[in-house]
Amino acid sequence: MNRLFAAACCAIIAMAGTITHAQERERLGYGRLVTNDAFGDVQDRWRTGSVASSRVWGRGWTGELPGRFGDILEFRIGGEIIAPNNTISPAPGDRPYAGALSLGLHTHFRTGALEMAVGADVVVTGPQTGLDGFQDALHGVLGMSGVSGAVRSAQIPNGVHPTLVVEAGHVLSLSDRARLRPFVEGRAGVESILRAGADLTIGQMGQGELLVRDPVTGQRYRAIRQVNAGYSFVLGGDIAKVSDSTYLPASRGYSLTNTRDRLRAGVHWQGESGQSAYYGLTWLGREFKAQSNGQLVGSLRLKLVF
């Protein structure tokens, strides 16, 4: 863990060190995505809710990734609540409650025909995040079941987990309106994951833009946008091998599934006056062997102009 922490720090310092002339950089874009099973199967369980937010800075944007590491910097903030199927009296063997907040620095660049995203996040878990109390209070306001004291006391404990993330993708142009992007991704830290998959985009939106992958669903949200109005439809999926997970500790007797699968679909829309929206659905496969079935979550991003 100490070596992982040192590697994460070195990655952040290396990227931060590229900001030698702050006045040459400008804010290029902002993206966010809210995911909740209330937008999907309305079951309020497992990967029940998350938020991802990105702010991108660089020395201009030409519609393509630069060829140098560190020219485009993405500051990433995230939060997630993971819960058992029943937050009052969970069934024996169901997953423990977990709250997680993250802060990271990532860079996007091109090397040859590959699109690269490399970065490091610091993930904070446990009661120190305050997410258990937040969910309990929110559910009380909405007249829903809260989070019992027993569930909160058995949650994943306080911790700080440096996490390295690397993704490599390659865009294949199928036509002037269709693009297929196979990718591989590795994560080491709060969860250690090796993943492979692909995303298909049909439509003009997304071309010449920077899209960032949400860690929970794999949905890609727009962080640098163009002004073109219209629609794009997306389909994607991936399969992963997870070697260990802070959220499903082997020390508590949890056995991970052999693979972790995701299937997703969504639609981007942008209006003539700058309004935009994204809605996506993601099927998340089983993550631990005692999990009875997968789940369906929805992701939403709205930008309204008045």
Structural tokens at position 181: 């992007």
Instruction: Show me where the domains of the chain are located.
Output: 2-303
Q: What is the pLDDT of residue 10?
A: 55
Domain at 2-303: CATH code: 2.40.128.140
Question: Beta 98-111 vs 260-270: how paired, if at all?
Answer: unpaired
d(CA 244, CA 187): 11
Q: Which positions of the chain have pLDDT values less than 50?
A: 1-2, 4-5, 8, 18-23
Task: Report the sign of the C-alpha dihedral through residues 103, 275, 212, 291, in that order.
Answer: positive
- Portion of the chain with pLDDT greater than 70, in percent: 92
